[in-house]
Structure 1
Amino acid sequence: MLGAPGPSPAEEPPGGGAASALSGLTTRGRSFLAAGFAAAVCSYVLGQADLLRVGLLLAVLPLVCVAVLRRTRYRVAGSRRLAPARVPAASETRVHLRVDNVSRMPTGLLMLQDRVPYVLGPRPRFVLDRVEPGGRREVSYRVRSDLRGRYPLGPLQLRLTDPFGMCELTRAFSSHDTLTVVPRVEPLPPVRLSGEATGYGEGRQRSPAHAGDDDVIPRGYRHGDDLRRIHWRSTARYGELMVRREEQPQKALCTVLLDTRRSAYRGAGPDSAFEWAVSAAASVSAHMLERGFQVRLLTDTGSSVPGPDGGGGLSGGGFDGAASLDTAGLLLDTLAVVDHSAEPGLSRAYDVLRGGQEGLLVGVFGELDAEQTGVVARMRHRSGAAVAFVLDPAAWSREGPADAGESEGGLRLLRENGWTVVPVAAGASLPELWRAAGDHRAAAGAPRGGAAAGHDHERA
């Protein structure tokens, strides 16, 4: 009998019984059975009693092996462990399999096989020798995928054989494990973008933290409050001791907008424009979390992660390291399975941004026609700063660049509406583009500062 840790016992294949047992005969078992019947027929024709005994021995031996193997009550437990269970695309992970014999009798020869999707490679197979009572065997194999996604591993299958190799029976565990292949995350250089957190420009996108903060108005005195926090004016007004609130910590907000429209991209595969866009969204999200931002991932469908307001009770690493890891894991798991959408435009994402709070907006867009360029231009009005990475799907799919005049006109419209626009060529490096975005913001801010200083000098 086969079993697995927890409520996942081994299952027999459908159609159990004598028919399934005989179907497990090996080539050797079938040969012995056929030779036994042939010898019995020959003994009847020739009248040789000794030949009949030989035929019965040959025919009965595989049947006895089948009966003994089916009645053997093996108790075998199997387990699987992934190291790690979440891996970036084009990276390897190791799968550890463990088989424990928890019965009081040794097992025979065991053949172990694990089911894996074809994307991860061929099915691994192992042959295990006799496992003593209370013993265990451990084997491992490696899997690798260039495509992100969630891939089921299992169930684990064991094939039992008798000592003579006459019969094989297959049993399967019911438990599964899931390997999550997330997009590749590239480290980005620190740059000064307008609208970043304290020390990095404007702070219009910062909002008060709600969890664990003092009340907005002076509140009643509580046992243990510092007497230096007593607000005497409010105490005189309300007739009881009132304490003033401390300065509320600020959270920097950042929205990463990922364009997933099917009509905005061409081609498929790990080197396609859409996969670059997904990897860019993952890299920017992870980078902003490391810098203490509260990050929200938004797609053209209007769905946002981790929550409708981008908060979901989780903040960036500058405030809570554990929450930052949770947010990063949630964003990567979401991007691991994100796919093309059937949305015709970006209006749903615009509606979400129009009703939300101001903050830093980083958009990764595919092909933008004149109408969608206008929608993206209006998104800038609700953000403190906006950076757009615009891909040319035609160049990525090697079909030649799109209409240069129309494309440049759309980019110019975005710049006129306050976007920092970074065109993305085929195979471009995201860290270099991120640094270029910071340089563009600095170059755009310098003339305005110089002009303002000149006007002040004239007024003086």
Structure 2
Amino acid sequence: MAAGGAQPADEDGGGLRTALSGLTTRGRSFIAAGVAAAVCAYVLGQSDLLRVGLLLAVLPLMCAGLLFRTRYRVVAVRQLSPARVTAGSEARVHLRMDNVSRLPTGLLMLQDRVPYVLGPRPRFVLDRVEPGGRREVSYRVRSDLRGRYPLGPLQLRLTDPFGMCELTRSFSAADTLTVIPRTEPLPPVRLSGEAAGYGDGRQRSLALAGEDDVIPRGYRHGDDLRRVHWRSTARYGELMVRREEQPQRARCTVLLDTRRTAYQGAGPDSAFEWAVSGAASALVHVLERGFSVRLLTDTGSSVPAEGAGGFAGATQGSADSAGLMMDTLAVVGHSDEAGLSRSYDVLRGGNEGLLVAFFGDLDEAQAAVAARMRQRSGAAVAFVLNIDAWVYGGAPAGHGDGALRLLRDAGWTVLEVGPGASLGELWRQAGQQHSSTGSASWHGGTAATDNGAGTGSGTAGSDSGTGTAGPRTTGSGTAGAGTVGSGPARPGTTGTGAAQPGSGTGTGAGGRV
């Protein structure tokens, strides 16, 4: 919401010059006709014609002077709802005009300045506004292009009853409409990079925690009495309650390749806009799943900044985190970077958990840099856009096989993206590919069931063990520490996972994303 006041009588104090500059075509025509009539009256000696000429010439000047000296005090308030919209969606702008002077206004014409990409400039005509009166108008704006667009300032035109003069006043207040990329809902899939204190891992960690693992603190007014920790209360002699601890969150980095050389074409249906929309969809999805997330570009800049903790979602609300990164994606453009080395320098500094990357055109040199990014992540998914297919059409298969092979050999889950591809379907395929490659990477951890009875086996170094499970259970190997045993499997299927020593079932690494 923005508010601004205009006092037409006190602004633009250019005196007579300002008043005369507001003369309309009608007013100028009256002056010209009056001067011509006065000249003819002087030549012909007609005094009556002279009076007519003087009337024609003086009337516009009197209207301009009176309009300029009229002391209006009008306050305008603009309300933008919502201030952040998705590309292709509409926002409504409400304008409210208040006459705070003791005099009624004349005819008011309003025009709000908006970029032409949002539509034509809205114009409104308001009749006489009584002292203390209010008028409200509204209009809609819409853009298919993401960006940040200014709205305002509002222009107010004052005119006299005869239409001889118009004066324009501008309010000082302006608003900004942020158009963020379109997002697509993504299905939950199983990927790794999950922390022990979140999701499935959180349930296991809470099951292992006992009463003595609670960190108590002193009772405060308003604390729930059900959280009282009686053992600590007896020990310290005062009422103690269980401290609310935030569970450890899984991390996710969304990498967006913005290199100018990696894309061709422009417009809302271009490959670059698909990559930006894909990054926005991934950010919203993982934030909703409870991840701590950051947005990283090929320039090495990240949101939130490293000084703010590096990742969003752990210390602030998911809605605020998404808004911060969405505002960045709303205005992101092409960079002049030649490669991905700067983003690699940021990624190699620590454990990134899940890494989701949206790449443009990759040659083998940049694919090698991207392959090294995989070393610091629990799982890595790459969406590589086939730029030739986007520009010239055709199927994406076979494009950049060498670069894609380098990524796959490094452990990336790679999906090639052609024009019109659905990110939701590609996300599902990424989960399926990761599950299949994840099962192959474990050793000796297989399980099978037959009519509800299962058998299992596991190996870990020189230790090994076998065991059987009862009906409708999954068997797992009973072995020494570090044994890899069977994971949960449905009848007629196989599964893999890491089994605890002596445990009945193993749990596969990773959680739904």
TM-score range, shorter chain: 0.7 to 0.9
Give 1:138's aligned residue: 136
The amino acid of 1:91's aligned partner reads S
Q: Report the counterpart of residue 445 of structure 1 in structure 2.
A: 438
Secondary structure of the corresponding residue to residue 434 of structure 1: helix
Q: Secondary structure at the match of 1:404?
A: coil
Q: CA deviation at 1:134?
A: 1.2
Q: Tell me how far 1:94 sits from its aligned partner.
A: 1.2
Give RMSD over aligned pairs: 3.2
The AA in structure 2 aligned to 1:293 is F
Q: Residues 231 and 9 of structure 1: is their aligned pair in 2 closer, same or farther, counting only changes over 3 Å?
A: farther
Deviation at 1:123, TM superposition (A): 1.2
2:342 is aligned, of 343, 348, 351, to 348
Contact 2:36 2:53 in 1 (8 A): yes
Q: Residue 453 of structure 1: CA displacement?
A: 3.2
Question: Cα deviations across residues 210-246 of structure 1 (Å, max 9, x unaligned)?
Answer: xxxxxxx9999868894635999xx9xxxxxxx9999
What whole-Å deviation, never above 9, does each CA across 1:93-125 have from its counterpart, x for those lacking one?
111111111111111111110111121122111
Report the equivalent of 1:386. 380
Asked whether the 8 Å contact 1:193–1:200 carries over to 2, the reply is no
Structure 1 unaligned runs (5+)? Answer: 205-216, 236-242
1:188 aligns with 2:186: yes
2:423 is equivalent to residue 430 of structure 1: yes
2:389, 2:419 within 8 Å by CA — same for their partners in 1? yes
Report the CA distance between 1:311 and its aligned residue: 3.8
Measured at CA, do residues 8 and 69 of structure 1 come closer, stay the same or move farther in structure 2, by a change above 3 Å? Answer: closer
Name the residue aligned to 2:292. Answer: 294
The corresponding residue for 2:105 is 107
- CA shift in 2, pair 1:168/1:42, >3 Å: same
Deviation at 1:409, TM superposition (A): 2.0
Query: Is the radius of gyration larger for structure 1 or structure 2?
Result: 2
SS in 2 for 1:374: helix
Q: Structure 1 residue 196: deviation in Å? A: 3.1
**For 1:176, which of 174, 177, 181 is the aligned residue?**
174
- Confirm or deny: 8 A CA contact 1:358 1:384 kept in the other structure: yes
Change in 2 beyond 3 A, CA 1:381/1:230: farther
Q: Secondary structure at the match of 1:251?
A: coil
Alignment of 1:259-408 (within 5 A): 259-308=257-306, 311=309, 314-315=312-313, 323-398=317-392, 404=398, 407-408=400-401
Structure 2 length-normalised TM? 0.77
Q: Deviations over 1:19-65 (max 9, x none)?
A: 22112111211121111111111111111111111111111111110
The corresponding residue for 1:128 is 126
Structure 1 residue 228 corresponds to structure 2 residue 231: yes
1:203-242 equivalence runs, <5 A: 226=229, 228-229=231-232
CA deviation map 1:177-206 (0-9, x unaligned): 1000001111111111122356999969xx
Matched residues in 1 for 2:27 and 2:268: separation? 48
Counterpart residue type for residue 96 of structure 2? R
Alpha-carbon distance in structure 2 between the residues aligned to 1:87 and 1:351:
34
Between the two structures, name the one with larger relative contact order (CA 8 Å, sep ≥ 6). 1
Aligned residues: 432
State the distance in 2 between where 1:42 and 1:122 align. Answer: 47
* Structure 1 segment 35-46 matched on structure 2, within 5 A: 35-46=33-44
Q: 1:265, 1:367 within 8 Å by CA — same for their partners in 2?
A: yes
User: Relative to structure 1, is the Cα distance of residues 275 and 23 closer, same or farther in structure 2, using a 3 angstrom cutoff?
Assistant: same
Measure the CA separation in 2 of the matches of 1:274 and 1:12. Answer: 50
**Partner deviation per Cα, 1:263-311 (whole Å, 9 max, x = no partner):** 1111111001111101111110000010000001111111111121774
SS at 2:374's partner residue? helix
Matches of 1:89 and 1:424, distance apart in 2:
22
Letter in 2 for 1:165: G
Residues 53 and 399 (structure 1 numbering): CA distance in 2 closer, same or farther, change over 3 Å?
A: same
Question: Given the superposition, is the C-alpha separation of residues 386 and 5 from structure 1 closer, same or farther in structure 2, using an over 3 Å criterion?
Answer: closer
SS in structure 2 at match of 1:66: helix
Q: 1:116 to 1:357 in 2, by over 3 A?
A: same
Cα contact 2:253–2:352 (8 A) shared by 1: no
CA distance in 1, matches of 2:441, 2:304: 37
Whole-Å separation in 2 of the counterparts to 1:416 and 1:109: 73
Query: Aligned partners of 2:114 and 2:217: how far apart in 1?
Result: 62
Per-residue Cα deviation, 1:306-350 (whole angstroms, up to 9, x for no partner): 12177458425xxx7x61111011010011111111111111111
List aligned pairs for 1:25-104, cutoff 5 A: 25-104=23-102
- The whole-number CA distance in structure 1 between the counterparts of 2:412 and 2:291 is 20
Aligned equivalent of 1:119:
117
| Counterpart AA for 1:447 | A
Taking every aligned residue pair, what percent have the same amino acid on both sides?
Answer: 68
Q: 2: distance between equivalents of 1:244 and 1:5?
A: 48
